[in-house]
């Protein structure tokens, strides 16, 4: 079985439903938001495309400003009602980008993240779960969701681990920028 290693040329970052109305309900919300914002900045620095989804934003609000302030003007933000973020728009965007590795952050682990991972895997994409940037309203649901996703061939990683795997070497021209980002990772 081949080893799944993150590569910048094959990777896209998918930010799932990190919306303002969830702030008071998600376990470790501040950590999820901070680490997701770091992932967006890292993706921008390493020229990895970012895709954002919002679940029913008319009732759940927009993506939190801590994240949107780092999105480029060309970052697609897709509205959805499906729990899976692998909508037809996201699928088309991934085909256009020709990205097979999907780095995932967002909420909720046992609902939208899980269903997205199952759909990505079913369509031949390799999901990477950034575990310190994924959460749920009920923290007891997170570990079973991760186990289920890992059984569907998702790879668990952390913000720091993903960052260093994508950099590959301290001589990378963006190493110092990413090192500054790494110092702000929350656990």
Residue 3: is it exposed, middle or buried by C-beta count within 10 angstroms (0-12/13-18/19+)? exposed
Q: Is residue 171 predicted with pLDDT exceeding 60?
A: yes
The pTM for the full model equals 0.97
Cis check: omega of the bond before 87, within 30 degrees of 0: no
pLDDT of residue 61: 96
CA angle, 71 as apex, 50 and 126 as ends, to 5°?
15
- Is residue 127 within 8 A of residue 117, CB to CB? The reply is yes
- Is residue 13 within 8 A of residue 162, CB to CB? The reply is no
Confidence bin at 3 (pLDDT 50/70/90): confident
Using one digit for the tens of pLDDT, what is the confidence trace for 101-143? 999 999 999 999 999 999 999 999 999 999 999 999 999 999 9
Q: How far is residue 16's CA from residue 11's CA, in Å, rounded to a whole number?
A: 16
Three-state SS sequence of the chain: CCCCCCCHHHEEEEEECCEHHHCCCCCCHHHHHHHHHHHHHHHHHCCCCEEEEEECHHHHCCECHHHHCCCCCCCCEEEECCCCCCCHHHHHHHHHHCCCEEEEEEECHHHHHHHHHHHHHHCCCEEEEEEEEEECCCHHHHHHHHHHHHHCCCEEECHHHHHHHHHCCCCCCCHHHHHHHHCCCCC
Nearest to 39 by CA among 134, 144, 168, 163: 163
Confidence bin at 2 (pLDDT 50/70/90): low
What are 36's two structure tokens?
């997701």
Using one digit for the tens of pLDDT, what is the confidence trace for 152-162? 999 999 999 99
What is the percentage of the chain residues whose pLDDT exceeds 90? 97
How far is CA 174 from each of CA 71, 166, 180, rounded to the nearest angstrom? 18, 11, 10
Using one digit for the tens of pLDDT, what is the confidence trace for 16-68? 999 999 999 999 999 999 999 999 999 999 999 999 999 999 999 999 999 99
Look up the CATH architecture of domain 11-183: 3-Layer(aba) Sandwich (3.40)
- Give domain limits for the chain: 11-183
pLDDT of residue 4: 84
């Amino acid at each position: 079985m081949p080893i799944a290693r993150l590569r910048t040329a094959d990777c896209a970052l998918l930010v799932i439903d990190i919306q303002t109305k969830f702030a008071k309900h998600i376990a470790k919300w501040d950590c999820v938001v901070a680490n997701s914002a770091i992932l967006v900045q890292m993706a921008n620095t390493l020229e990895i495309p970012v895709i954002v989804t919002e679940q029913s934003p008319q009732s759940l609000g927009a993506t939190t400003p801590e994240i949107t302030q780092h999105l480029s003007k060309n970052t697609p933000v897709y509205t959805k009602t499906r729990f899976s973020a692998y909508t037809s728009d996201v699928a088309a965007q991934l085909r256009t980008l020709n990205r097979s590795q999907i780095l995932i952050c967002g909420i909720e682990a046992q609902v939208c993240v899980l269903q997205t991972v199952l759909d990505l895997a079913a369509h031949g994409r390799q999901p990477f779960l950034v575990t310190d940037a994924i959460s749920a309203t009920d923290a007891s649901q997170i570990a079973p969701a991760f186990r289920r996703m890992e059984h569907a061939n998702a790879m668990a990683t952390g913000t720091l681990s993903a960052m260093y795997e994508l950099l590959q070497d301290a001589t990378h021209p963006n190493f110092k920028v990413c090192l500054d980002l790494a110092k702000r990772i929350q656990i």
